[in-house]
Structure 1
Amino acid sequence: MSTLRRLWRSGTGRFGILVVGLIALAALVSLVWTPFDPASVDARSRWFGPSWPHLLGTDGNGRDILSLLMAGAQTTVVVAVGAGVVASLLGIALATLGALTARWVRESIAVLVDILVAFPVLIIAMMITAVWGGSLAVVIWSVGIGFGVTIARVTRPELRRVLHSDFVLAGRASGLTPAQNLLRHLLPNVAPVFIVQLSWGMAVAVLAEAGLSYLGFGAPLTQPSWGVLLSDLQAYIAVHPLAVVWPGLAITVTVLGLNLLGDALRDAADPTLAERTPQARTHVPGVVA
């Protein structure tokens, strides 16, 4: 609870919580209700400006833009969470193998990670989608793998640093197994670094989905997506510029909110920041006699 209170007191943390919470709420609500049917076409309502009952206006097919944004939030949440899970599992696995195993295994993992990290995440996603076709599953796996490697590269040296700390050595002396030491001592102390990388990866996942959908490699055209909506509206930007603002603004604010929330979580969870509490305390477990 103290971490949540510190997070809420932070301006960036509060902004991130509100943005991410609003997107998640919109995605949940759109499962059961939207102001209008996102797939409903009404030629008599084409290119309405923001007014009642179309609060954000309509597109060239007469579809309500607010309803499309709410339905598209489902795609955004699925991609962000899915890519985050894949990146977390892969990143932690590679970092653990690269930090806690035999020397030849560590060096092999380090070389593999250095090779894979040289390829930009979006390039990897475009190559995979070009071969396997466009779908949300391909976007999730490609972005998750790309950022899992990045997480491993950043987390591995932190694990090596914490591995030689006094409290880890004390844990070994008390009889903890390597797995117990990893879960109780190592991962909590590298969590701040991991959180920042994970939030960045989820933000890039949102951008990747929107960009790939914009190019026709992401979500199917029948599935609401902010990237697909942006692609549909950009052809009319000279005539109806306001309509293009809404999906672009949704993508921008979501990415900004994820990044700021990650930074605030790092500051709130980092046990080494003295300014957090009057007397800073590091994660030092008690030694079992």
Structure 2
Amino acid sequence: MTHLLPVSALILYIAGAAAYAGWLKSDRQVLLLRGRWLLLFGLVAHGAFLVLALGLWDSQRSLDVMAVRPIALGFVSFAIIAVFLGLERVLGLSGLGLLVIVVSAVVMVIASVVFHFGGQVQEIAADPKLVIFHLAACLLATVLLSFTFVFSLGVIAKEFSLKRSRLPRMLQRLPSLDRLERFSTMTLTVGFWLMLVGVITGVLLALSTNVDAPFSDPRVWWSMLTLAVYAVLLLFRSTRGLRGAQAAWLAVLGFATVALSLLGVTLWGDTFHVY
């Protein structure tokens, strides 16, 4: 039953993506409505899975890290869809629905791969509340930076088409370049600071626990690299007025380091990270 729920959610998300793609091509509002309902049903199944996974949390131990692993990235995927559905009509984001669903589905697949094939996780004798704070900051940052990635792809696609004086029907549904830039900057700024808080609390946790050589964990260095990329982007935005596709490509690079950290680094041997 536990495995059936995320599989059902993924199938519903994919069906929702197909509905959004059909709407982008045909402008049939019934497809847009169908896509929203499919996403909502997928979200319910996904949320039920997360609730059941939380039941694996062992309150008798400092932190049952193997129980947290299926929840962490699953929450990111769930939150991406939930935030999109909550803000879609308010901010006019329907044109980005297909991209958002693809990103969420990919994160969901990564969560499954990491859960089934990731290396053994070291036990952490730390204050669970502080660990939860660290996880919350990092995961919320990942959610926001996922949207930065989506908005950046929108900027790249729309700017490229406008330069060619040809805007396909699918791209006409995207928000304006100005709004995409504004949304990208907002999510990038908040996401960066949340990730910085997450990294700082993570370092403090590692130094105060029984973790051997915490800075030998590749996730630590990849997190630093991710922070550096986004810091450069924020710096260039504020000092050099970097905008448009150039800034968007740098944001895409930043998210690539996030994706590599989530998937590749977690599969490399032992780690004290659960996601």
The answer, yes or no, to whether TM exceeds 0.5 is no
Which is greater in Rg? 1
- Normalised to the residue count of structure 2, the TM-score between the two structures is 0.29
- Normalised to the residue count of structure 1, the TM-score between the two structures is 0.28
